[in-house]
Amino acid sequence: MSLLNQVISLRGAAHCRRSTVSCQAGKGEVARIAVLGASGYTGAEVVRLTALHPHMKVTALTGDKQAGKRFSEVFPHLLTAVDVPKLVKIDDLDFSNIDAAFCCLPHATTQEIIKKLPRDLKVVDLSADFRLRDPALYKEWYGGEHAAVDLQKEAVYGLTELFREQVKTARLVANPGCYPTCSQLPLYPLVKLGLISTEDLIIDAKSGVSGAGRSAKEANLYCEVAEGINSYAVGKHRHMPEIEQGLSEASGKDVRVSFTPHLINMSRGMQTTSYVKMAPGVTAEDLRLALAKFYEGETFVRVLEKDVIPHTRHVRGSNFCMMNVFPDRLPGRAVVVSVIDNLVKGASGQALQNLNLMLGFPETTGLMQLAMFP
């Protein structure tokens, strides 16, 4: 089978084109949305994005430490968001008037909350609690027993462009991590097509400081991050098993990667630079063309023209992923570069993309903001 036919066959088996049907609740109706853990960066991004969504209305915001405050007191830049409710404690929230929820709570906390939610509620979870399918793997990397194993089995992994059809029918979607999104979008198809080796796979990743969350931490103070760059969680970052889980599924066998994240002195943005060994006879241009064909027609994933280098500033504030492939100086190897905004495509934007599908809205609704530059 030719490379082109392989790509066409893979796309047909993996996912279909974007849905354009109206909301399941009825055309023109508005879904009532709760944002759980709205006082963090991902919660704020959900509110920002849904503010322009014609079929969703945020009717509940929780933030136990900020309960009673207007949302604009916590995030002044969202002062102009219309009809945003005050923050309340999650225990005081009446879910009978909620159609769907974004869960922006920390891992471990999330599973305890979600297992108590009404079963008819659509949920997109932005924590790590439901991303790993193996409870033993979750315990190994997150340091505790999973408290909602049945839900862990039910959850659909929401890397939208790869698992669109499963997301459409899901009740609970595990939104991917930022690094796994940026890494897997280019690597998953290349592994699935057998165009690159799963051995000696190196991922060099860099993120803006917002990826560490909004809570006060010494390592995130201005003097700690300004005018410098540093690696962290070397050889033990919790997104590693998530990346390996996806690439193992693509390969059909266990895959291990060398993954090192770095903190960059910028507020948002993410880049992964992956160093790959190509299959015999395959060139870097073959990889680029395969990715271009695989993502042909996709709104949010863009494979750039030959020799054009992706920049994080070109996706800032948007739900887009830009990628490209370059030949390495070492024979038989290539360099794959991918960039996203870690808070949008790497978190809240992809979450909205998933909930659009779950509720039957056009997938791109509320997400067509162009990148902010300069």
CA 245 to chain centre: 15
- Residue 258 has what pLDDT? 98
Question: pTM of the entire structure?
Answer: 0.92
Cα–Cα distance for residue pair 286/2, rounded to 1 Å: 12
CA 321 to chain centre: 11
- Residue 276 has what pLDDT? 98
Cross-strand bridge partners of residue 60? 34
* Annotated catalytic residue, options 104, 178, 182, 321: 178
Catalytic annotation present for 321: no
Torsion region of 185: left, alpha or beta (phi above 0 gives left; psi -120 to 50 gives alpha): alpha
Residue 369, token pair as written in the block: 């903001």
> Looking at 78-82, 237-241, 280-284, 306-310, which range is the least confident one?
78-82
- Residue 13 has what pLDDT? 53
Query: How many angstroms separate the Cα of 338 from the Cα of each of 70, 239, 258, 299, 360?
Result: 37, 16, 17, 16, 29
Cα–Cα distance for residue pair 72/261, rounded to 1 Å: 33
Burial zone of 331 (CB within 10 Å; 0-12 exposed, 13-18 middle, 19+ buried): exposed
pLDDT in tens, 98-136: 999 999 999 999 999 999 999 999 999 999 999 999 999
DSSP state of 320: -
